[in-house]
């Protein structure tokens, strides 16, 4: 049975493509939290903000021998991006 190339091409072309537009969450966490050598990054909490359903993640690690944690917010301005400050709600 032969596949129709046009139907395969149409189904592949219709899939949404996610293009990275900035640093990933792990990269941001490493930059902001500066973990000690060998200290893992750990997701403590994740969820959505009540007022606008924006996703957030709390990540913790050890830095300077102390537990440190930050919240990271999904960005609507940069799809697929994250920031340490939520985007302004308009």
Residue-wise pLDDT for 53-79, tens only, equals 889 999 999 999 999 999 999 987 777
d(CA 79, CA 75): 6
d(CA 81, CA 22): 6
- Where are the chain's structural domains? 22-83
For 39, how many CA atoms within 13 A lie in the half-sphere containing its CB?
Answer: 18
Q: In whole numbers, what is the pLDDT of the chain averaged over residues?
A: 78
For 43, how many CA atoms within 13 A lie in the half-sphere containing its CB?
Answer: 8
pTM: 0.68
pLDDT at 67 (0 to 100): 96
pLDDT at 21 (0 to 100): 56
């Amino acid at each position: 049975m032969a596949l129709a190339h046009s139907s395969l091409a149409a189904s592949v072309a219709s899939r949404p493509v996610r293009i990275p537009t900035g640093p990933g969450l792990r990269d941001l966490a490493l930059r902001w939290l500066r973990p000690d050598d060998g200290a893992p990054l750990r997701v403590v909490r994740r969820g959505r903000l009540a007022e606008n359903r924006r996703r957030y993640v709390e990540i913790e690690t050890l830095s300077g021998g102390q537990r440190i944690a930050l919240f990271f917010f999904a960005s609507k301005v940069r799809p697929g991006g994250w920031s340490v400050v939520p985007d302004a709600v308009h």
